[in-house]
Amino acid sequence: MKVALVASEAVPFSKTGGLADIAGALPRALERHGHKVALFIPAHHTLTSSKQPITDTGVKLSIPVGARFVEAHVLESKLPNSQVTVYLISQPAYFDRPGLYGAKGVDYEDNCERFVFFSRAVLAAASALELTPDIIHCNDWQTGLIPAYLKTQPQRTPGLGGAGTLFTIHNMAYLGLFKHWEMALTGLEWRLFNWRQLEFHGMLCFLKAGLVFSDMISTVSPTYAQEIQTPRFGSGLDELLRLRQNDLRGIVNGIDLDAWSPAREPMLAANYDMTTAVSGKAACKAWLQRAVGLPERADVPLLAQIGRLDPQKGWDLVAGIADRLLACDVQFVVLGEGHPRYHELLLGLVERYPQKVAAHLGFFDALAHQIEAGADLFLMPSLFEPCGLNQLYSLAHGTVPIVRATGGLADTVVDATPQTVADGSATGFVFHEPTSDALWDAIARALEHYRDHERWRALVHSGMRGDWSWDRGARQYELLYQEILRRTAARASS
C-alpha cells in the first residue's frame, strides 16, 4: 500500500525528541515490508546538518492561511539507507528559526499559523505530486488539522479523498492549544468550533482535531492507550478517548538497530553481541569510567541515567534517595539537561561524591551510546512515559533497566521476580508507586542480583534476546492500516 507519513520532525533532518527517531525509522521499516512510503516534514533550519542530498522538486504552492496566501516550496530528499522519499515543506519565514517550536523555553507566538500552513501545504503537495496515498499517518498535535481538512473539505484535496487517516499520539501532555480567534487562520468553518470537535475550554485544540476526525487513533504503547482514557493521564480529553476506545490501539515503538546495536556502533570501545556481552561490556565499562573521570573498577555496579532533567522523568524520586544510594559501593553517571534545580542537585552530588558521580549537563550523542553500552543498570523512574526509548536501548545493550510501571515501561520490561528469574523471562526491575522508597526497593533488589554473576548474566541475555526492532512495530502498523482501509471501503460501499 501507499503511505504518507506526516510529522513535524524526523532524524536525520531535525530533532527535539523521540518523535524524530520514530518518523525517521518507521518509514524505512514499512518500506522493507514492501510498502511505498513518503514522509512529509517542515524544512527546518537544521537541514544543513543532515548530510542528506536535498533537491527542489519545482513544486511551488500558494497556501491559504487566514485571509492571505503564503508560498510553499517543496524540496525532496531520501531517508538514509532507503528509497523513502522525504518531502520538505519550505517557507523560511516559518521554519528557518533557531528552534523547531520555540526558543529559550518559550513557544513561538505564531505556532498556530505555522502548523496551519504546514498541514495545508502537506495536503496541497500530496495532490500536486499525485501521490494518491492509501493511508495518511499523522503524528502529534502539529498534524492534527489534517484529518479535519480531509473530512470537512474533501473538494480542496483532489486525489486524497479515498485516503484513510491514522492519528498517533506520542505524548498527551502536548495539546496544541491556541486562542479561539486563531480559528480564523485555519480556513475551517466556525461551526466546527464546538465542544465536540475543535474547542477545548474556550481554546482551539489541534490534538483534539486529530482525535475527532481521524479514522483511527494509535499511541505508542498498549498501557499508555489505557492510561490516557483516565483523568490522570488524559489531559482533559479522556472522555473523548473513551468514546473512541474501539478505534484506539497501542503499538510499542521500536529502535533503529542500524544506529543502536552494540554489534555495529562505531563509537563503542568494543563491539559485542549476546555471545560476547560479558567481555564487550567490560571493555565498554572500563572505557566509560576513564572517559567520565570515575575510578576504573570492574566490580562496582555502574548506574546511569540519560535524558531530560525533568520532574516527569522521576528526578524528584532520585533526589530523595541519592545520598542513600551513594552511601553504597556504586557509581552513577548522568547525561542530560533540564530544570536548574536538578543541575544544582547533580553538581552537589559530584562535589560530595567525586569518586562515585559523573554528570554531563548537555547532550552528546556519542556519549549516550557509550553510556548505554558501558553501564550495568539504567534508571528510568518516570512518573509517566508514553513509550520510552532508553529502556529499549538499554535492553539491546545488555544494560538492565530499573523502571516504574507506567506506559511503555510497563509493556517492555519484565520484573525480576522468583518466577520470572526461574523461567528466564525477567529483563529488569519494576516498581509501581511513584515514591523514593519504592524506587529504592527496586534498586536494592537490583544490587542484590548484581552480586550473583550467574543471575546477572541471565538478565543481560534475556534483555538482549528481545526483538526491539522497528520491523516488529511495522508489522503492527501494517495490520492497523489494513483495518483502516477495510473500514473506509465499507463506508464507501454503504
Render pLDDT for 454-481 as a digit per residue (tens, 0 to 9): 999 999 999 999 998 999 999 999 999 9
Max alpha carbon distance in the chain (Å)? 71
Are 47 and 154 in contact by the 8 Å Cβ rule? The answer is no
Sequence-distant (6+) residues with CB within 8 A of 483 are 216
- Give the percent of the chain with pLDDT over 70: 99
Buried/exposed 153-164: b ≥16 CB within 10 Å, e otherwise: eeeebeebeebb
State yes or no: pLDDT of 493 exceeds 80. no
- Around 95, how many Cα atoms within 13 Å sit in the side-chain half-sphere? 23
E-state strands within 418-459: 429-431
pLDDT of residue 362: 86
Is 274-467 in the same CATH topology as 2-254+471-493?
yes
Are 320 and 436 in contact by the 8 Å Cβ rule? The answer is yes
pLDDT of residue 142: 98
pLDDT tens by residue, 361-410: 988 889 999 999 999 999 999 999 999 999 999 999 999 999 999 999 99
State yes or no: pLDDT of 449 exceeds 70. yes
pLDDT of residue 363: 82
pLDDT of residue 48: 67
Mean pLDDT, residues 105-125 taken together: 96
Cell of 437: 522508597
Q: What is the mean pLDDT of the chain?
A: 95
pLDDT of residue 479: 97
Sequence-distant (6+) residues with CB within 8 A of 439 are 314, 317, 318, 320, 321, 381, 402, 404, 431
Q: 68: how many CB neighbours lie within 10 A of its CB?
A: 9
Of 137-151, 244-258, 480-494, the poorest mean pLDDT is in: 480-494
Q: Which CATH code is given to the segment(s) 2-254+471-493?
A: 3.40.50.2000
Sequence-distant (6+) residues with CB within 8 A of 471 are 29, 32, 33, 254
* Extents of the domains making up the chain: 2-254+471-493, 274-467
Q: How would you classify residue 300: left for phi > 0, otherwise alpha for psi between -120 and 50, otherwise beta?
A: beta
Q: What pTM was computed for the model?
A: 0.92
pLDDT of residue 364: 86
pLDDT tens by residue, 346-358: 999 999 999 999 9
Provide the edge-to-edge strand list for the sheet that holds 177-178: 177-178, 203-205, 199-200
Provide the edge-to-edge strand list for the sheet that holds 2-6: 55-65, 68-78, 85-90, 36-42, 2-6, 135-139, 164-169, 216-219, 248-250
Q: What is the residue type of 114?
A: R
Are 480 and 249 in contact by the 8 Å Cβ rule? The answer is yes
State yes or no: pLDDT of 494 exceeds 90. no
pLDDT tens by residue, 400-410: 999 999 999 99
State yes or no: pLDDT of 271 exceeds 90. yes
Are 60 and 71 in contact by the 8 Å Cβ rule? The answer is yes
Q: Which CATH code is given to the segment(s) 274-467?
A: 3.40.50.2000
Which residue, among 211, 104, 102, has the nearest Cα to 166 in the 3D structure?
211
> What 8-state DSSP symbol labels residue 134?
S
User: What does the alpha-carbon distance between residue 74 and residue 88 come to, in Å, rounded to a whole number?
Assistant: 6
pLDDT of residue 417: 97
Q: What is the residue type of 115?
A: F
User: What does the alpha-carbon distance between residue 214 and residue 321 come to, in Å, rounded to a whole number?
Assistant: 44
